[in-house]
């Protein structure tokens, strides 16, 4: 691989501390670099739509919840894996832009339901198509067997964290 900065880092550590097993850096270091690079490449369509960090996650969670495209702040928090405070800030931005509305929950007058507007559904559908195409481009270097193998390996690593 040309210009693999992680190999350079590992080589430097092997020279300075030959007693250390630096092999994990070849996987973890590359994963961190890929996540950072891919995150920057995937953000474009969201930024162009005026969405802040994490806003699309909220829109996508509401959209994939199915009709009526509504969840409570707590449900969104669990789905998006952020605090309810972070959800509130995101929903504030999305509501101000007309992508979602808030209403009193039918089963709890203290609770609020966040619902995608019709414009929010259209935006989310459009962005999801672009997002998936961008993801395809990120992994197009791998053939189908390699993608399947990598997906399986990543699932195994993720399962070990649960």
For residue 127, the domain's CATH number is 1.10.10.10
- As for how many domains the chain has, the answer is 2
Same domain, yes or no, for 115 and 155? yes
Q: Are residue 30 and residue 64 in the same domain, yes or no?
A: no
Question: Is the pLDDT confidence value at 9 over 90?
Answer: yes
Mean of pLDDT values over 62-66: 96
At 112 the pLDDT is: 81
Mean pLDDT of 40-54: 92
Quick: pLDDT tens for 94-140. Answer: 999 999 999 876 766 666 899 999 999 999 999 999 999 999 999 99
pLDDT grade for 81, boundaries at 50, 70 and 90: confident
Instruction: Identify the top-confidence range among 31-35, 52-56, 59-63.
Output: 59-63
pLDDT of residue 105: 67
The per-type count for the chain, helices as H runs and strands as E runs, is 8, 3
pTM, entire model: 0.82
Radius of gyration, CA atoms only, the chain: 20
For 115, residues 6+ apart whose C-beta sits below 8 A from its C-beta are: 62, 68, 69, 70, 100, 101, 102, 103
> Among 53, 79, 84, which Cα is nearest to 65's?
79
Residue 67 lies in a domain: yes
Phi/psi at 133 (5° precision): -65, -40
62 with 20, same domain: the answer is no
Q: Are residues 116 and 140 in the same domain?
A: yes
Does one domain contain both 31 and 57? no
Domain span at 151: 52-162
């Amino acid at each position: 691989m040309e210009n693999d900065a992680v190999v350079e880092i590992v080589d430097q550590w092997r020279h300075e501390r030959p007693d250390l097993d630096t092999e994990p850096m070849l996987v973890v270091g590359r994963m961190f670099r890929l996540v950072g690079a891919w995150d920057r490449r995937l953000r474009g369509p969201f930024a162009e739509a005026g969405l802040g960090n994490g806003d699309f996650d909220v829109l996508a969670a509401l959209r994939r919840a199915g009709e009526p495209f509504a969840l409570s702040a707590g449900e969104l928090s669990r789905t998006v894996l952020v605090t309810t405070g972070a959800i509130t800030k995101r929903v504030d931005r999305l509501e101000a832009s007309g992508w979602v509305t808030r209403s009193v929950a039918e089963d709890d007058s203290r609770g609020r339901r966040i619902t995608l507007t019709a414009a929010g559904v259209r935006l989310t559908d459009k962005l999801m198509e672009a997002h998936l195409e961008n993801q395809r481009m990120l992994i197009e270097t791998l053939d189908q067997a390699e993608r399947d193998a990598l997906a399986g390996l990543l699932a195994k690593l993720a399962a070990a964290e649960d």
